Amino acid sequence: MIGEIIINAFLVTLMLTIAIFIINTRKVISTILLTGTYSLVAALMFVSLDAVDVAFTEASVGAGISTILFLAALSYLPKEEKEEKFNLKHIYAICTCTIVSGLLIWASYDLPLVGQLENPAHQHLAQDFIEGSRNHIGIPNVVTSILASYRGYDTFGETVVIYTAGIAVLVLLHDGVSKISKINKEKK
Partner 1 sequence: MIDQIFGVWNYWIVFILMMIGLYIVISKKSLLKKIVGLAIFQTSVFLLYITFGKIAGGTAPILTDNVNEIYSNPLPHVLILTAIVVGVATTALGLALTVRINKAYGTINEDEISASDLVEYHEKYLEDKN
Partner 2 sequence: MDNLILKVCTKVLFTPIILFGLYVQFHGDFGPGGGFQAGVIVAAAFILYAMVFSVEDCKVIMPPKLNFFLLALGAFLYGFVGIIGLILGDPYLSYDVLGSTKEAGQHIGILLVEFGVGLTVCNVMISLFYSFANFNFGKKNND
68 binds, among partner 2, partner 1, none (CB under 5 to 8 A by kind): partner 2
Alpha-carbon distance of 30 to 99, in angstroms, equals 30
Among 104, 183, 184, 186, which residue sits at the site for partner 1 (rule: CB under 8 A)?
104
By CB under 8 A, residue 89 contacts partner 1: yes
By CB under 8 A, residue 176 contacts partner 2: no
Residues 6+ apart with CB under 8 A from 162: none
Instruction: Indicate the residue type of 92.
Output: Y
Residues 6+ apart with CB under 8 A from 145: 129, 132, 133, 137, 139
Among 4, 56, 102, 126, which residue sits at the site for partner 2 (rule: CB under 8 A)?
56
Compute CA distances 101 → 10, 18, 19, 88, whole Å.
21, 18, 15, 20
Instruction: Indicate the residue type of 138.
Output: G
By CB under 8 A, residue 88 contacts partner 1: no
Say if residues 80 and 27 touch (Cβ distance below 8 Å).
yes
φ, ψ (nearest 5 deg) of residue 139: -120, 130
By CB under 8 A, residue 130 contacts partner 2: no
By CB under 8 A, residue 108 contacts partner 1: yes
By CB under 8 A, residue 154 contacts partner 1: yes
By CB under 8 A, residue 29 contacts partner 1: no
By CB under 8 A, residue 83 contacts partner 1: no
Binding part of the chain for partner 2, among 88-96, 99-107, 114-122, 174-182 by CB under 8 A, reads 174-182
- The sign one gets for the Cα dihedral 7, 10, 15, 16 is positive
- List interacting residues with partner 2 (CB under 8 A): 52-53, 55-57, 60-61, 64-65, 68-69, 72-73, 76, 136-141, 143-145, 147-149, 152-153, 155-156, 159-160, 162-163, 165-166, 169-170, 172-175, 177-178, 181
